[in-house]
Amino acid sequence: LAIIGFGALLALGVHIAICFLIVGLASSVVLVGLNPSLSLLGETMYYSIAVPGFSALPLFILMGAFAVRSGFAKRAFDAVQKIAARLPGSLAIATCFGCAAFGTVSGSSLATSAVFGRIALPEMERYNYKKSLACGSIAAAGTFAGMIPPSLMFIVYAIFTEQSVGKLFMAGILPGLITAVVYSLSIIVRVRRSPELAPMVIVEKRITWRDKLLSLGQMWSILLLALLVLGGIYTGLFSCTEAAAAGAIATLTLG
């Protein structure tokens, strides 16, 4: 009966969370009565979110908001763009690695995609990149923030599964970097096979290795924040919440 009721509510267009609430409460009332069910409902709703670890979420979100306002994404994009200037699809590659770098301070895939949609998409449109490649690279690379620490999804997963946030953060670094490299290589291969996807960016002056190294200097603040947050958690200097607070303060200061 519960399954039938759940399906009927979904068919009527009721939100899935409300469906679970109605079916669960109704089943509980049938089994144990109204008063115990209401008491259990209140306790369950409270204790499911009254977890100290959740306090890290708004702090990491605040850290990401400061990073967006401080122009960290633009710095990362410009730095990688100079390094990859001679490669096919250089702007799309800059988007991939820029998203990976910005993901270390934002923690949110949606925020990363939105920010690079405003920064990278106009640049790629200016150089007549195909919409499919431009939008696809932003949408795909934006997901790096969900893999590269401090990923908000990792925090939620760690809380519900009672795992170590620090270990999850450490485990996400290498896969995130490998994914960024693989995406960039796939862009190079596609553009070499179909040059019309991404016309070569015309560089007004020759970019030397010194210029490329100096461009990396634009990302020192991002690297410092990543070391502060991840190093603090991994060494035990900070808890996850304390690292989020320290990261937010440092982002505001460096920005």
255 three-state secondary structure? coil
| 56 shares a domain with 84 | yes
Cα–Cα nearest to 197, from 113, 93, 97: 93
| 179 shares a domain with 230 | yes
| 59 shares a domain with 43 | no
Amino acid at 42: G
**For residue 185, what pLDDT band results from cuts at 50, 70 and 90?**
very high
| 62 shares a domain with 38 | no
What range defines the domain where residue 221 resides? 52-254
- The total number of structural domains that make up the chain: 2
| 145 shares a domain with 244 | yes
The pTM assigned to this predicted structure is 0.74
Residue partners of 89: CB distance under 8 A and separation at least 6: 129, 133, 187, 188, 190, 191, 197, 198
| 40 shares a domain with 58 | no
Produce one character per residue of 134-163: b if its CB has 16 or more CB atoms within 10 Å, e if not: bebbbebbbbbbbbbbbbbebbeebbeeee
What tokens appear for 189 in the block? 């291969």
pLDDT tens digits for range 124-176: 888 888 988 889 999 888 888 888 888 888 888 888 888 888 888 888 888 88
Cα–Cα nearest to 99, from 179, 33, 22: 179
Cα–Cα nearest to 187, from 95, 66, 57: 95
| 71 shares a domain with 143 | yes
The DSSP output letter for 200 is P
